[in-house]
Amino acid sequence: MQNDFYKDLLDNLYDGVYFVDTTRTITYWNKGAERISGYSADEVAGRSCADNLLMHVDDAGNQLCTCGCPLASTLKDGKLREAEVYLHHKDGHRVPVRIRITPITDEQDIITGAVEIFSDNAGQREIRHELSEMKHLSMLDTLTRLGNRRAASEDFERKIKALRNFKTPFGLLFVDIDGFKQINDSHGHEVGDRVLAMVAKSLTSALRGVDKVSRWGGEEFLALIPGVDAARFRAIAERMRRLVEASALPLPSGLLRVTVSVGGSMAQPTDTLESLVQRADEMMYRAKSSGRNCTSLDCA
């Protein structure tokens, strides 16, 4: 009677549950296991998981039932184990599952078998993917497809830690489109948006793979440039300025060209993002006062 109670309890679990003896022969298979795998209890009872019925594989495609089986390891050492694997469904496709394995012992603490609980992990994987996408979107400027202020802030935190801990230098470039208000006033905001997208692509093209450019706001952009000395920093800033100057947006009235003013400062270990941006911003205004379409850095 008591065994029937526990069987009914296990059969009503959403998770899959199965028992094995010390030879890895399956002695119990609940309704949840049938639902997730497609195999009925009659099809698996008395078979060994060593027969590779479920054909568990990991992310790398390694066959776990024949090599590196977590359940077999638990039968040997009695340790609890968890893993994310893929089982083979009866219909042929793979199902992502999270497995938890616990040894079964007798009154003398001798291992007599093990129980494996597995849950369909597709929902959790989808949630993690959606959260990752949401985080990505929360740090994305939708117009330019560059990172936004939040992305720039997180990138700065990584780079300032590298500077403080490993003395890895980096600089910040502050870029402002010259006369952007006049562009909006003369051509409209739709053309202004196209100019922003064009400048964003040109700035990205000017940078190395390790560099990151973000839209700081309005017509302002911020680029974080790691692993450079003053000369290399200046060369990258000049390349950004020149590539924007060489860009042109085709309009019915002709090609619309724009320029940028670039200010920059090398980071110090005591910097915050605000203090570093302030110095670079001051340099950018110095470039503006020098006639625009200029680069001004506070390093030699």
Q: Is the dihedral of CA 104, 106, 109, 111 positive or negative?
A: negative
Task: Determine the angle formed by the axes of helices 273-289 and 149-166, rounding to 10 degrees.
Answer: 110
H helix intervals, 112-229: 122-138, 149-166, 180-187, 189-206
209: Cβ–Cβ under 8 A, 6 or more apart, which residues?
none
Strands 249-251 and 254-256: antiparallel
Q: What is the DSSP letter of 14?
A: S
Pick left, alpha or beta for residue 93 (phi over 0 → left; psi -120 to 50 → alpha; otherwise beta): beta
Q: Given the residues 34, 219, 238, 274, select the one marked as catalytic.
A: 219
Contact status, residue 135 vs residue 193, Cβ threshold 8 Å: no
Q: Which neighbouring-strand residues pair with 147?
A: 140, 214
Three-state DSSP state, 85: strand
Identify whether 84 is a catalytic site residue: no
Distances, alpha carbon 191 to alpha carbons 143, 144, 199, 210, 271, in Å: 12, 13, 12, 31, 37
User: Side-chain half-sphere of 157: how many Cα atoms within 13 Å?
Assistant: 5
By CB atoms closer than 10 A (0-12, 13-18, 19+), residue 149 is middle
Q: Which residues are catalytic?
A: 219
